Amino acid sequence: MNPIVLSPGDIAIAASLVAFDAILSIILKLNLHRQVLWAAARMVVQLIAIGYLLRLVFALHNPAATVAVVAIMAVVAAREIAVRPERRFKGADGMILSATGVAIATFVTVALALLTALRPHPWYEARYAISLAGIVLGSVLNSGSLALDTLLTSISRERPSIEAQLGLGESFTAATRTLVRQAIRRGLMPIVNQMSAAGVITLPGIMTGQILAGLDPLEAVKYQILLMFLLAGASGLSAAVIASLALRRLTDDRQRLRLDRLR
Q: Which residues bind another protein (CB under 8 A)?
A: 158-172, 175, 178, 252-258, 260
Nearer to another protein, 25 or 156 (CB): 156
3-class SS shares of the chain: helix, strand, coil, % to 5: 80, 0, 20
Neighbours of 211 (CB within 10 A): 16
Are the C-beta atoms of residues 95 and 110 closer than 8 Å to each other?
Answer: no
Q: Shortest CA distance to 110 belongs to which of 133, 86, 79?
A: 133
- Is the peptide bond preceding residue 160 cis, with omega within 30 degrees of 0? no
Report the nearest approach of another protein to the CB of residue 244 (Å): 19
- Rounded to the nearest whole angstrom, what is the least distance from the CB of residue 151 to another protein in the complex? 16
**Closer of 64 and 168 to another protein (Cβ):** 168
- Closer Cβ to another protein, 79 or 261, answer by number: 261
Strand, helix or coil at 133?
Answer: helix
Q: How many helices (H) and strands (E) does the chain have?
A: 9, 0
Between 219 and 252, CB nearer to another protein: 252
Measured from the CB of residue 87, what is the shortest distance to another protein in angstroms?
18
Q: Considering the complex, what minimum distance in angstroms separates the CB of residue 182 from another protein?
A: 13
Minimum distance from residue 187 beta carbon to another protein (Å): 22
Q: Which residues contact 66 (CB under 8 A, 6 or more apart)?
A: 57, 124, 126, 129, 130
| Residue number with CB closer to another protein (21 or 163) | 163
Phi, psi of 262 (to 5 degrees): -105, 160
